[in-house]
A and B are shown apart, each in its own frame.
Chain A
């Protein structure tokens, strides 16, 4: 057997994430957190520079 011939698991069901009903909610949490941090850092730069 070639190393690329591992058994293929075609349709593994993806569990729901915690807290949110869908993965989209988790993704928006991460992106929203990034947006919040950039705004916070911008405010810090403006206040202290």
Chain B
């Protein structure tokens, strides 16, 4: 990295943090720390909601996902706008009327203390794990760039996030997220324009999209019904709806964003703003990944995108095997490059027969290239058994560092760090507020001073930060980061959503029935995760429906008096 990159990176991040600290100076009590002062307008809420969801993983892993698997991941978000409408109509007015700090307080009003505590604990477990993955993602960048140990890097980033969150509270989180979103979207749009400008002169934008389509990357929507397919229209519109309902309606890291609004109207508009813009934003990020894929059809890609892992193999007896495979990969690339050029010519000539021939040739070479990559992964695993062999999360960062001009590298790294800071700070804050309000203050220490609870909130923030750091050290075992976050979420969200749905819509069901239904539902979801091949998005549906159906049956079977 050049000096200019470091100046841009630390200048951008320094400005955002300093601005947040300056704007929130003087917030010294528990009300300020946990709720802010309820003055946020809808655009601040909307941007804050989007920034909380858009972690560093979004910007690192999503383009890599598109590079490997095409655009179909976008279907994951199809349920989100519907969820925004449902939450705006039903959940927001209820939370406002009850004037709650956390979503789980509502459950004690509606059911009982144990149901509130169960929902809070399920949230704490899943969000604590997800926060670890959120910290792990940016750690990959620094460890790759600086050659640091990954664990040391995780520790450094985790501590920085903890300090930032403890000093700021919820208002600092929301205020800085506006600047962070501006940096994120500005940086990604510039990156997208740069990728397209790097394509050869004879490849116009339309040709690039056509080449991506012929190579299977423009698979945006798939209406086929396959229960084990992770991303298709049906899993996105149903599983995605349940996941979004649960995430935005019951996850404290999001509920806190819109509870800080000036009024119900501002909170609703913030949520609807997210419903309008989330899918176009994800489309843009995925499309940048597809353009990086097209770029690498005309420029030699590395045989393995994690250079640090590859260089370790050079120091082992397997170095010659790796070099041989690299030469083989380069030969295949040269043939594929010519075949792709032929495909472009055929597309420009609008000759279907030529296009079909070129497509077959490109496909055969792509399969051969993929086979070599698999062999390379095998060599890396044999030479360094501790190494991870999934490299999709390194695709985008590798492109940024190798090809973007000086200054832009710093800006794109600022994008990734901003995203990490915005989502991690929201998560740590939400974990701390739930721990204090729903567990500590409610069940452990009911009578203490405001200063005591403020200190407890900050201590819980530090504690959860440490848990997140420890989990981050195991995150490298996951296949793909963005999937890992969503899988962890899906295991718990369905059950939590089920509890809230029963609370909102089934007035006859009481605390004991919903509590035991939630316990059984969570066991069913865990069974599905560990012992079946069912696509993870369906866990949300299963967990939610199990809670609703079982609590209904329990209430009916045992009777209203006993339950």
Contacts and interface: CB of A to CB of B under 8 A. Distances in A.
Contact of A6 (B98, B108, B263, B272): B98
Given A4-B105, A14-B265, A33 B221 contact: no
A30 B109 contact: no
Interface string B512-541: 000000000000000000000000000000
A20 to B, nearest CB: 11
Given A9-B99, A17-B269, A45 B276 contact: no
B105 A17 contact: no
Interface string B242-273: 00000000000000000000011100110010
B276 A29 contact: yes
Contact of A45 (B78, B100, B221, B275): B221
Contacts, number: 103
B265 A17 contact: yes
Given A2-B446, A6-B98, A27-B88, A49 B82 contact: no
A40 to B, nearest CB: 9
Interface residues of A, number: 31
A49 B437 contact: no
Contacts of A48: 209-210, 212-214, 218
Contacts of A18: 269
Interface residues of B, number: 47
A41 B221 contact: yes
B266 to A, nearest CB: 8
Contacts of B304: none
B280 interface: yes
A11 to B, nearest CB: 8
A7 B99 contact: yes
A45 B268 CA distance: 33
- Most chain A C-beta atoms within 10 Å of own C-beta, residue among B82, B85, B93, B105: B85
Interface string B161-174: 00000000000000
Contacts of B279: 34, 37
Interface of A: 2-4, 6-10, 12, 14-18, 23, 26-27, 29-31, 33-34, 37-38, 41-42, 44-45, 47-49
11 contacts: A6-B99, A9-B99, A16-B265, A26-B269, A27-B88, A33-B276, A34-B81, A37-B280, A41-B283, A42-B221, A48-B214
Given A23-B88, A34-B82, A48-B214, 15 more contacts: A4-B100, A6-B98, A8-B97, A8-B98, A8-B99, A12-B96, A17-B269, A23-B268, A29-B276, A34-B275, A37-B279, A41-B220, A42-B221, A49-B218, A49-B219
